[in-house]
Every structure is written in structure tokens, then in C-alpha cells.
A and B are shown apart, each in its own frame.
Chain A
């Protein structure tokens, strides 16, 4: 009995009579506090998935494969970050997937039709993407309707407009190639180049992704605005009552998603020269899944940017790992569904641990 409790006691003495305590609460053990981190479940899952594919798929072990996995993860991860922040703030954005295509189409069509420098199109696309986010946010705070409805509406509007406007200008479902236009090479360097590390070409989006993740983590945990995000998602009425600008916070979060969509849209445009107008549908759920696997609560108020990074990394590993293992890629969605359910269960358990007295 005493032997059994000894190791536990060494890490956290359960009832240590430290001077200024009133004894009604006790210090939680390090393990318990670690388990209360939102991303811990995702981290364990990521290690398991990595080891699994490392074992079953030999091509997965090469450095170039890792670069591919990271690239796949980064394109989704850059969007998963603002989506995770928005979810911590208590809202969804179902228009995030098609908003990426909208930004790419806007930049492409605008530059091509007016025969201007591509950077003009890039800036116009940024304005449009932010405007879509602002519209979502403004509609939400004005009407008080659930974000599910509002963004489902804007999702359908954008999906239809993407196809219709593209066909109107090009007579085709894809835009014309802009690869020979002014500024294209420069923009491609910024949005879609590769950097060689030890002989392995790593896409530049991987670096953007990691830098943005660090920025988002800092924003969430170390700034006023991060505090407001947690409070707005955790208990909107309380937050408003103590003076948190809830309206500002929500609209800003939706605009951040818009900015993310713009960035990924630019990457797609400058990688492929042309944009398919029907792309992007369904991706909004992948972003949400990455955030949820990373520990974000669907109801808001809890989660982390690091978790969204890990969630996107798992996504990248699975989508590439299945190819490297020579399996039928159709299994990908099934695998993702299993991951999502497992993550949801782990998160449920973790949250109970975190709030247990």
C-alpha cells in the first residue's frame, strides 16, 4: 500500500500543509495539468500515425516524403489556424473552403481581364477575401443567427458565383493561365517557391505555416486579443458584461479566416497558373476537422493553435501515407473519419480531466 502510493506522492504531495492554503483546493499533479493541455491528445495521435506509416510504408521514411507530407499539411494548416482561432471564439466558417477559390479566381480574372500586373490582382483578391470575412462577421453579430446558417449561405453564394463569373469571363470552368503576365515570377517566388534544405526541396508554404502557427500561439496566449477570443467563445455574455468587445473580436476573427483564404488562394494560383472554379468545396470541413483533432471544442472557448498544426500534420501524414503504402486512396476519407471520432472522444475525456475537481 505504502509502496504503491510512494511514487505518486513524490510528484505531488496530496495534502501538503503549505503555509497560506485553505485546504479546499489542492494543487493538481503535473500529469493532470499536462493532460489538460488541449493538444495533448492530438500529439499522441500524431506519434501513433507517424510510427504506423513509418512501419508499413517504406517510402514514407525518406526525407523527400516528409517534405511532401509537410507541404500537404501546410496548405491545409495555414487555413486550419484561423479556423481554429474562430472556433475558439465560438463560431464556424463553412465558406472557408470556397473562399480560397474565390480569392484565387479574383486575382486571376482581375489581372487577366485588365492585363495588369498580377500584384494588382493579388491586392484586389485580398480586399475581396477580407470583405467576405467581414460580411460573415457583420451578418453574424447583427442578426444573432448561428454562424452555421450565415456561412452556409455565403458558402452557397461563393460556390455559385465562382462558377458563374468564371464561365462568364472565360467561357470555361478554369481561368486562363497568367504565367506570362507582369510580376508573375516575383509573386510565384513569394507564394509558391521551394527552398532546398540538405538536398530536399521544401515548399515555402511549410515555413509560412510554422511562422503563422507561432504567431497565432503568441496571439492566443500572450495578448489581450487572445484573451478576448477565449472569453468570447467561452461565455459571450460574461465577456460582454466585463467589457470585452465581442463584436469586434468576432468580425476580426472572420476577417482573419478571409486573410488565410487569400493566402492559400494565392499559393494555388501561382503554383498552377490557372484555377479550377469548382475547387475548394468540402475543404471547409477538413479545416474544422484539423482544428477539432487538435483539441478545439466545437462549442468554443477551448483549443490551441499548436493543436491545429498537429491536426493538419496528421491530415498530411494520412493523405500521403496511404499513397506511399500503395493503398487505394479512397480509404483516405474513412481514415479521416476514424481519426475525427477518436479525437472527439479523447477531447471529451481530456476536458473532463481538466475541469474535474
Chain B
């Protein structure tokens, strides 16, 4: 595990190359190239030396009464690797995260942390085991200041019991330095976090998870509501977290974003696993097709072609050829 991490650190200059002045697409494109190369290196290096995964699901599933939201899902998360989980709306992505983050319990299969089968009752238990989740929209409390949000639920205190109080100076200082370490510069940590942009808020949430010793970071569609540039920023922090040796579960419905940072791809479809492949075994085109629903979309394309005014040329096959451009289309939706 450590060997793998150190070798990774040497091979990825992504986080150190933020390209401040460069246009968005260019920055994203160089990011892709560098990450792709690094990921290949990692996959080769990690093949034999890797220990057991930090988090593993074996045939896991979840039923809400009669509704089977998730069924027979296998997933392994290793340190210093990014596992991408893709799927359309209602594919079971959210259920999967909720199981791993302790909000819900699985009703079938096994959930292992460090090889030990567990049932997590609360998010606190998951946090205590080093699993931190950054939710798409419920990551922060908008009216609370940035530093209070950063330490929410894990506040630093000082003094003996009756007068035990928040160590505000230390918290502000730590929050500031942690944010700067992730490349986030905020002028006023006292401003309500609701006044930050979506990307900044995601980044604060990621920095928070990294600071609190997360070993596994679950990111729930961190780029879904963001513009192209903001998405690039968040992808950069995902790479930064990975390079610090965290196992990352990156949930998204954007195959282009996934392919930029992912080492392993799982595609969920109607609550089951449609595809589970290492980076070496899948191309972006295949991933996009799986994600888009393959045969179903082809049928849909046939139908749409009969409707006047619908441009079927824009559907996945064409999009695969020019990845960065298509990525920007996806996010601007």
C-alpha cells in the first residue's frame, strides 16, 4: 500500500500544475493527458504489490420494502486509487453511497472495511473508520461561516469541562492552511459558506474530508452542478486527494470526467452492475456507450431520427471522437 502510494507521488505532477492563466479546455486537456499517463503507470505498478482493499462490497444490495434499489454490486476501493461509479439517474448510485457512508444499511451481500464485515449504523461510525462522504448538495450548512463548516461535527475545543469551549483561533488557522494546501484561497473565513461558489464549496468539503484523516473519500456527483472551469477545479482536488494516498469513490454520470481521473470504472444500471473494468480494459468510447445505455440508446436514436428537427448526430458515437469538447457540452447542460 505504501509502496504504491510513494510511486504514485513521483509519477503525478497534476496537482502541482494548476495552469492558472490557461483557458479552461486547455487546462482540462493537459490534465487528462497527464492523469492518463500516471494512471497507466499506477495500474502497472500496483498490479502485484497492492494489499487488500480498504472498502469492499461483495454482492451487496439494498431493498426498500418491495423495491430492490441495488442488487449484487461488487466494488473494491484501494488506497491511492480512484474508483468511478457511473450510472444514470435512478441507477442506484445514491443507494450505493448511502450504504458505504453509513446512512443506510445493506440488506444483502457483504460490506467489508479492511477485510472485516461491517454494518454501519450512523455516518459517525463510517467517519470513525475513515470513510468521509462529500455530498452533492448537503455537504454544508449555508448560513454558517466557512471555518465552522470546516470543523462541523469535529470541533476543536480547549479548557476543562464546565468551561470547555471552541478553540476558534486554532480552527480558523487550521482551516486556512488546509484550504491553502489544497490550493483554495479564501479572503474571509467568517463569511457564510452559502456565499461561496459551487466549486469552492465542493473544494472546502473535500479539503475537510482530507484533513480529518479520511482514508476513503466518497464524492457524490461533485461536478454535476458545476461549470466547465469549476469542474476542472474539483477534478484537480480529486487528483490531489488521490496523490495524498486516499482511496476515492467518484460518483458521476459524466464519463469524460470519470475517465480523466479514474483507475477503475463501474457502471450501474437499474440497480445492478453493468460494467466493472480497470482503466486498461476500457476506452472512453466504450465507457460512454455503456453509460449512455448502449443498445437502448441506439433504439432511441432510431426513433428520434424519425422526428423532424432532432439532430441525432450529437448522440454518443459522434461525441466520443472529441472528448474535451463533449465534456464541456455535458457540464453546460
Q: In the complex, are the beta carbons of B103 and A241 less than 8 A apart? A: yes
Q: Quick one: closest A residue to B195, CB to CB? A: A357
Check A238–B188 contact: CB distance below 8 A. Answer: no
Contact indicator B144/A230 (Cβ below 8 Å):
yes
Which residue of B is nearest A242, CB measured?
B153
Interface residues of chain B: helix, strand, loop or mixed (majority): loop
B148-189 at interface with A (beta carbon < 8 Å): 148, 151-155, 157, 164-166, 168, 180, 185-188
Question: Are the C-beta atoms of B188 and A27 separated by less than 8 Å?
Answer: yes
Q: In the complex, A355→B187 CA distance in Å? A: 16
User: Which residue of chain B lies nearest to A38 when distances are taken between CB atoms in the complex?
Assistant: B143
Task: Tell whether, in the assembled complex, residue B141 and residue A243 are in contact, meaning their CB atoms are under 8 Å apart.
Answer: no
Complex Cα–Cα for A124 and B196 (A) = 50
A-B contact count (CB 8 A): 99
**Is B121's beta carbon under 8 Å from chain A?**
no
Q: Which residues of A contact B194 (CB under 8 A)?
A: 355
What sequence of 0s and 1s flags, for each residue 240-259 of chain A, a beta carbon within 8 Å of any chain B beta carbon?
11111100000000000000
B25 in contact (CB, < 8 A)? no
Bound-complex Cα distance A26 to B186 (A):
9
A235 is an interface residue with CB less than 8 A from chain B: yes
CB pair B144 A241 closer than 8 Å? no
**Closest B residue to A299 using CB positions:** B143
A side interface size, CB within 8 A: 34
B139 on interface, CB distance cutoff 8 Å: yes
Q: Which residue of A has the minimal Cβ distance to B165?
A: A222
A355 & B148 in contact (Cβ 8 Å cutoff): no
Residues in B with CB closer than 8 Å to A241 are: 101, 103, 123, 133, 135, 138-139
Q: Answer yes or no: A239 CB below 8 A from chain B CBs.
A: yes
CB <8 Å contact, B141 and A301:
yes
Residues of A within 8 A of B244 (CB): none
CB contacts under 8 Å to B, within A1-44, are 20-22, 24-28, 33
Is B293 in contact with chain A by the CB < 8 A criterion? no
Near B by CB (< 8 A), chain A positions 208-265 give: 218, 222-224, 226-227, 230-231, 234-235, 237-245
A242 touches B187 (CB 8 A): no
List B contacts of A227 (CB < 8 A). Answer: 144, 148, 151-152, 155, 166
Bound-state CA distance A242–B122 (Å) is: 10
